Amino acid sequence: MSTAELTLTEDGIPLKEKLAKTTALQRRRALLLTLPLVIFLVVSFVFPIGQMLFSSVHNDKVSAVVPTFAEAIIQWDGEGLPSEQIFEIFVKDLAAAKKVREIGRTVGNMATRINYEMPGSRSLFTSTARKAKKIEAPYKENLIKVNKKWANPTIWLTMQRAARDITPAFYVAALDLKYDENGDIVRADELYQIYLNNFIKTLGVSALITLICVVLAYPVAYLLSVLPLRQANLLMIMVLLPFWTSLLVRTTAWIAILQTEGVINDMLVFMGFISDDGRIQMIYNQTGTIIAMVHILLPFMILPLYSVMKTIPPTYMRAALSMGAKPLYAYRKVYLPQTLPGLAAGTLLVFILAIGYYITPALVGGEDGLLISNLIAYHIQKSLNWSLGAALGTLLLAVVLILYWLYNKLIGIDKLRFG
């Protein structure tokens, strides 16, 4: 037996057993202390993301309205038109659904779901539902008499896809693709190719905003780190002042400053740089979005840089200069490498915030300055196509995770430092 097993504590319990009990008690206490944080993360982070992932592939608007027909159409082989029996089930389910007033189970909900994939088909369902109770056998023939569009096999193929609760259709739409008449996935018409281009524009705008923030923040952070304490504190208050002002107020201020009749254009006209008829359009476009977002996100770049620069002893640069190095060479070899952790932290922070921003672009961006987050908000708040909004949100999350992985591979996430 080991010494720990033979040694007894004052109360006669073997030391090994006592240590095991003490360790277990400490673990339980640690778990209880972290439990509120774990619950908070699950409720506010894990659960919403899980709900978004589920909503992006789940939509039961058809099966909830015409459940019997949904089961029957899924079994259809997809050749020509469905059988007379399926037509009968559809008509009877449609007539029954017309009487339902329960939220989420109306014919309008089903029609809207089909309309996502076949634009313009919503009125076909709503108008047919009003006449469904009068349709009798032969159901196929009489349904086609009600509206000749029911003789189109494409609409039945679309209903077959929509009848499945789990569907990739919303990711297909989010990637600017569509189903053709044969059910194959092809490129969407050019008019509807908006999401991928917006993703690319969002990445480009976010990268440009991050670059501008680096250029502006680096000298400010350096100045903060070398100034005497009193002057540095005053400058730090100016950096933090935007955090004490409402985001809406700051954005509205930029509207007043950048509009054609705003402060900047009035000054340029007064100084003779431009004519009164040649005022520059700086708002409700991509330019306005970039200017306003740089102003909002600049402190998020300054603070990580400053926290790292403040810890770099000035003697390093003086030592390099005393040994004959020129200022630029000494900066590039001695000072810059030590600021990279703060630069990496600020870059990652600003870029991720920029890629998901939607309030500022919505207010100052106009149509040209809208980002992918604005399209997600549109589908969640206005079009109520939550599944497509969730699919776009999931793709945005995937893009961020991929960029994070690349960042870790190229730079190393362990090099990030906020102070």
Q: At what angle do helices 336-355 and 386-410 cross, to 10 degrees?
A: 170
How much is the pLDDT for 152? 92
86 or 315, which is more confident?
Answer: 86
Q: Are 345 and 304 in contact (CB under 8 A)?
A: yes
How much is the pLDDT for 272? 86
Q: Rounded mean pLDDT of the chain? A: 87
Checking if the pLDDT of 78 tops 80, the result is yes
**DSSP codes joined into one string, 345-374:** HHHHHHHHHHHT--HHHHHH-TTTT--HHH
- Angstrom distances, CA of residue 28 to CA of 20, 31, 171, 339: 12, 5, 43, 41
Checking if the pLDDT of 298 tops 50, the result is yes
Checking if the pLDDT of 9 tops 70, the result is no
Q: Are 107 and 125 in contact (CB under 8 A)?
A: yes
| Identity of the amino acid at 409 | K
Rounded to an integer, the average pLDDT of 289-295 is 92
How much is the pLDDT for 4? 47
Checking if the pLDDT of 415 tops 70, the result is no
**pLDDT per position as a tens digit, 35-74:** 888 899 888 888 989 999 999 999 999 999 999 999 999 9
Specify the pTM: 0.84
How much is the pLDDT for 8? 60
Does the 195-415 domain belong in CATH 3.10.580.10? no
Q: pLDDT category, 125, cuts 50, 70, 90?
A: very high
276 or 206, which is more confident?
Answer: 206
Work out the angle at residue 49's Cα, subtended by the Cα atoms of residues 44 and 55, and round it to the nearest 5 degrees. Answer: 130
**H or E element that contains 185:** strand 185-187
68 or 322, which is more confident?
Answer: 68
How much is the pLDDT for 155? 93
How much is the pLDDT for 327? 81
| CA dihedral angle for residue 12, residue 14, residue 17, residue 18, rounded to 10 degrees | 50
How much is the pLDDT for 165? 92
How much is the pLDDT for 15? 67
How much is the pLDDT for 319? 86
Rounded to an integer, the average pLDDT of 309-318 is 84
Structure tokens at 170: 């919303």
How much is the pLDDT for 44? 87
Checking if the pLDDT of 348 tops 60, the result is yes
Q: Are strands 185-187 and 177-179 parallel, antiparallel or unpaired?
A: antiparallel
Q: In 10 A of CB 405, how many CB atoms?
A: 11
Rounded to an integer, the average pLDDT of 318-324 is 83
**pLDDT per position as a tens digit, 181-220:** 888 899 988 888 899 999 999 999 999 999 999 999 999 9
Rounded to an integer, the average pLDDT of 138-166 is 92
Can you list the alpha helix ranges (DSSP code H) found in 60-174?
67-74, 84-98, 107-117, 122-131, 139-146, 153-162, 169-174
How much is the pLDDT for 387? 93
**pLDDT per position as a tens digit, 11-41:** 666 767 777 787 888 888 888 888 888 899 8
Q: Are 315 and 266 in contact (CB under 8 A)?
A: no
- First CA to last CA across the chain, in angstroms? 50
How much is the pLDDT for 33? 86
Q: Please state the domain extents for the chain.
A: 10-57, 61-165, 195-415
How much is the pLDDT for 395? 93
Q: pLDDT category, 94, cuts 50, 70, 90?
A: very high
Phi, psi of 418 (to 5 degrees): -105, 5
Checking if the pLDDT of 418 tops 70, the result is no
